[in-house]
Amino acid sequence: MTHKQSPGRRNFIANSVKGSIALGIGMNATGALLTSCSPAMHVGASMGNTGFDQQPLPYKYDALETMIDTKTMEIHYSKHASAYSKNVKEAAQAEGVNMNEPLENVLAKISKYSAKMRNNGGGHYNHEMFWQCMRPMQTGNAPMGNLQSAIIKAFGSFEDFKKQFADAGKNRFGSGWAWLYTDKNNSLKIGSTPNQDNPLMNISDLKGFPVLGLDVWEHAYYLKYQNKRADYIENWWKVVNWDYVWKRYYSFYNIPA
């Protein structure tokens, strides 16, 4: 997948996406906007949007053994994450949200809605992304291509990036998420949000587009790792789906492969 594109056009596209996010336009609209710029692009529209229903897990519960154990995956997906989907739909119905619209639209203006919508809308979005961010363990698992270059440029090296990201997860007091995201200046950043917040939310200290998220709630690791969150994070790197992360990054920037 290669194609040339002028810096000016890339900047226009990036700025269009930034503007869309700033205006609270969901990725559906963003994707349509970008697609209209060039039919050859593989951008936001190809990534799809997040709906309100829980999607099937893209692998079996035991697929991430032994980094993440089968029982944790089963409970995490079928109980915790399932409840977020159920509850965000209840909130949407009660608060007059059109569930045919992308969830991203709600998150962008989450301050207008209830705590139930914030907690469960974030929880549903974050987990739908989290499942996709993982895959069965691979030897030498690492980002490739321009995502690798961008990470090295932003953080010095892949190892430095992993340390900073892991620190964001380890230092999150209580429950929350560690993120790799792109900010309003199109820069890759690392950060953490509490509870089920994420960088798409207008109430978040972090603002941007999440490309990789790590769940550091105890329900994500306690059965296997107990209080050793650092060990969970260290092993989690082996199951990160860098192909999916690359697609999310690519969908935002439309960077040639």
CB of 248 to Fe ion, least distance (A): 19
- CA dist 243 and 32 (Å) reads 23
Provide the residue type at 135 as one letter.
Answer: R
End-to-end CA distance of the chain: 6
Least distance from C-beta 204 to Fe ion, angstroms? 17
Nearest residue (CB) to Fe ion, 132 versus 254: 132
Give CA–CA dist 206/213, Å, rounded: 13
Enumerate the β-bridge partners of residue 176.
Answer: 194
**Shortest distance in whole angstroms from residue 198 CB to Fe ion:** 12
Which run of H or E residues covers position 18?
Answer: helix 7-22
Q: Which two tokens stand for residue 63?
A: 């697929």
CB of 76 to Fe ion, least distance (A): 6
Return the number of the residue (95 or 231) whose C-beta is nearest Fe ion. 231
Across the strands, what pairs with 214? 178
Structure-token pair, residue 243: 């192909």
Q: Token match 């090295």: residue?
A: 152
Interface positions with Fe ion (CB under 5 A): 215, 217, 220
Which CB sits closer to Fe ion, 18 or 224?
A: 224
In the bound state with Fe ion, the residue whose beta carbon lies nearer, of 214 and 245, is 214
Which of 147, 220 has the CB closer to Fe ion? Answer: 220
* Shortest distance (Å) from residue 80 CB to Fe ion: 5
Report DSSP letters for 241-256, one per residue.
Answer: -HHHHHHHHHHHH---
Q: Which residue is nearest to Fe ion (CB)?
A: 215
